């Protein structure tokens, strides 16, 4: 089955990963790399004025410049690959710019890193993005707190309205309170005051219901002794 490309207003719309690669390839084509430098040096030698040839000293100077450029590019490429490889398994945020200048934010874990033409590319959810698009690397502590808050809110939002709360919801309410009590101060910052207040109302209501149920049970357990038989 052939690939399907999105169309908007009668025009093909390139994917974010394609835009990322195309943008970086354009940048590369506009940069004077070591191969282009060498070609310029050879052309200069080939088309120099035979009556005023370039001196050997000048050629040596240009060659030294070429060698320095090559070493700098190789060092930069090695650093990029090292930085990119360290991102495998981490969650990153990319700012990807398309051919029309629009920026799209891409977030996700880095599955692997590939290296092509002295450029590092990150694989995120099956798509390749240039390392140059990297904006932020998510902190593991932040991700853990964010996930914990999301799980906590998921439990809270599944509870019935507080006036409809029943003893059948006891386990969920107690789990909610236990999770909150175990959170660090940093993790609690991901919850709003309103959400925490709502939880406290559920906990208070449940405690009252449990206490009332236990009191009713105790009252029902008292048997009348009745009078003595004569």
pTM comes to 0.49
**CA 101 vs CA 22, 70, 73, 132: distances in Å:** 12, 31, 28, 15
Which residue(s) pair with 123 in the sheet?
112, 128
Tens-place pLDDT, residues 194-218: 999 999 999 999 999 999 998 888 7
What string of H, E and C letters represents the secondary structure of the chain?
CCCCCEEECCEEECCHHHHHHHHHHHHHHCCCCHHHHHHHHHHHHHCCCCCCCCCHHHHHHHHHHHHHHHHHHHHHHHHHHHHHHCCECCEEEEEEECCCCCEEEEEEEECEEEEECCEEEEEECCEEEEHHHEEEECCHHHHHHHHHHHHHHHHHHHCCCHHHCCHHHHHHHHHHHHHHHHCCHHHHCCCCHHHHHHHHHHHHHHHHHHHHHHHHHHHHHCCCCCCCCC
Q: How many residues can be counted in the chain?
A: 230
Position 156 scores a pLDDT of 95
Tens-place pLDDT, residues 125-136: 888 988 888 888
Radius of gyration, alpha carbons of the chain: 34
Structure tokens at 59: 């050629």
* 43 vs 203 pLDDT, higher one: 203
Tens-place pLDDT, residues 135-192: 888 788 888 898 899 999 999 999 999 999 999 999 999 999 999 999 999 999 999 9
Q: Is 27 a residue whose pLDDT tops 50?
A: no
Residues 72-99 as b or e (16 or more Cβ within 10 Å = b): eeeeeeeebbeebeebeeebbebebebe
CB 179 within 8 A of CB 148: yes
Tens-place pLDDT, residues 90-138: 888 888 888 788 888 888 888 898 887 778 888 888 889 888 888 888 7
Query: φ, ψ for residue 135 (rounded to 5)?
Result: -110, -45
């Amino acid at each position: 089955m052939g690939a399907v490309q999105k169309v908007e207003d009668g025009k093909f719309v390139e994917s974010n990963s394609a835009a990322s690669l195309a943008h970086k390839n354009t940048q590369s084509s506009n940069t004077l790399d070591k191969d282009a430098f060498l070609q310029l040096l050879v052309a200069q030698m080939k088309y120099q004025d035979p009556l005023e040839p370039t001196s050997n000293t000048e050629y040596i100077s240009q060659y030294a410049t070429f060698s320095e450029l090559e070493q700098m590019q190789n060092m930069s490429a090695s650093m990029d690959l090292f930085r990119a490889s360290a991102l495998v398994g981490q969650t990153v945020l990319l700012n990807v710019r398309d051919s029309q200048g629009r920026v799209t934010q891409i977030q996700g874990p880095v599955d692997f890193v590939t290296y092509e033409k002295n450029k590092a590319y990150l694989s995120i959810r099956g798509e390749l993005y240039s390392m140059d698009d990297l904006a932020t690397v998510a902190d593991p502590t932040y991700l853990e707190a964010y996930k914990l808050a999301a799980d906590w809110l998921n439990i809270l939002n599944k509870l019935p309205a507080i006036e409809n709360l029943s003893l059948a919801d006891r386990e969920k309410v107690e789990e909610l309170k236990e999770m909150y009590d175990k959170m660090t101060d940093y993790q609690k910052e991901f919850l709003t005051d309103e959400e925490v207040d709502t939880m406290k109302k559920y906990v208070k209501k449940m405690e009252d219901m449990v206490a009332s149920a236990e009191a009713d049970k105790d009252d029902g357990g008292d048997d009348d002794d009745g009078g003595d038989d004569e």
